[in-house]
Amino acid sequence: MFEFRIIAQCPVTGARAGEFSTPHGVIQTPVFMPVGTLATVKAMSPDELVDIGSQIILGNTYHLYLRPGSDILTKAGGLHSFMNWKRPILTDSGGFQVFSLARLQKITDESVLCRSHIDGSQLVMSPEWSMKMQGVLGSDIAMCFDQCCEYPATHEKAKEAVNRTTLWAKRSKKYFSDNNDSKRQALFGIVQGSVYDDLRRQSAEEICGLDFPGYGIGGLSVGESHEAMYHSLDILNDIMPRQKPRYLMGVGYPLNIVESIARGVDMFDCVMPTRNGRNATVFTSKGRLNMRGASHAEDFRPLDDECDCYTCRNFTRSYLRHLAVCGEILGSRLFTLHNLYFTIKIARMAREAIIAGKFPEFLEDFKAKFHDDNITES
């Protein structure tokens, strides 16, 4: 059921266009995956997600365990049925919460003793717990329980996280093999290592040696420079198996996406498009716009002349700025829709360019037009 097929590859950069088959449909890669942490992509309905081209979305094991809980999700028949999403779903293992909720937990090789960020109640997170919960969720792609290191981290601490990630990957695979339905769910391993070359190599060799059907690349986009991220990807490109999909976790900044595709990455996710949308910041083909800026008050152009999303086809910057300043819910929805459409389209355009043999030109054109970290009002 789970098969990854590369249908085209750029001979200059190594960028790949592929297809990954799952029980809920074929995912065409490269692909950007909207994040639906709590069984909803914020401000978007399932039909709207389909309309803008979402092939696969994410859910989060830790958050869904707390609310609505495993009992309700079991009775609902899993996450697809619960949220009425008929396309593929990937679930994060909860491992990232070991990083993001560090002040609430204690980590050992055996497990993570965590306190709920909601009510302070105690929770023991482990590879076995994560695999069991992801089995309840019934996602198409489950992720191994791992330890993501903060940035900056010492070599010693990063190595400890790498060793623990390998230990937990073995335990995740063992529990998954014994208890989960491998015909309906694929388990991906996760490579860690912070920004240390030797640890990235070690983690990639150990995790890829366990022979998962796909691999996440974790521990990036946590504060390091873009150059450090790209350097780590360059190292992994020579180690990770060509015939398996590669998923760069938590990366959604447009330039990072195109640069990472050029380094062999197939899958991406990030809360940035939705979070920025709720805060009236949008991506365009020329960079980012702060839509609360006064310069938009009498600007009757669309957000982006090159975008054909619902927002850009129907509303002006003037109106959208009005919604933002007034705090209207419609503004958050329209900004979110545009940002997701724009980000999903980047991956689709990259795929089309790879297949057409024109990816280097696409890459250079995008980099020339999109101004890195430029928040502008023009």
| Residues designated as active site | 92, 269
Counting other chains too, the contacts that 85-88 makes at CB distance below 8 Å and 24 or more residues apart are 85/36, 85/46, 85/49, 85/57, 86/24, 86/46, 87/24, 87/25, 87/50, 87/54, 87/55, 87/56, 87/57, 88/22, 88/23, 88/24, 88/25, 88/27, 88/55, 88/56, 88/57, 88/140, 88/141
| Residues in Cβ contact with 182 at an 8 Å cutoff, skipping those fewer than 6 apart | 176
Q: Are 18 and 7 in contact (CB under 8 A)?
A: yes
Nearest to 337 by CA among 41, 59, 87, 86: 41
Site of tokens 């999303």:
309
| CA pseudo-torsion sign 123, 124, 130, 131 | negative
- H/E stretch holding 248 reads strand 246-248
Rg (CA), the chain: 20
Give the C-alpha separation, 337 to 273, whole Å: 9
Q: Are 112 and 124 in contact (CB under 8 A)?
A: yes
What is the token pair recorded at 373?
């970290």
Helix extents (H) in the chain? 46-51, 61-66, 70-76, 79-83, 95-100, 127-137, 155-179, 197-208, 226-237, 254-261, 272-278, 310-314, 317-326, 329-356, 359-369
Q: Which residues pair with 189 in a beta bridge?
A: 215
Give the C-alpha separation, 200 to 195, whole Å: 7
Q: Count Cβ atoms below 10 Å from residue 1 Cβ, excluding itself.
A: 12
Q: Are 369 and 283 in contact (CB under 8 A)?
A: no
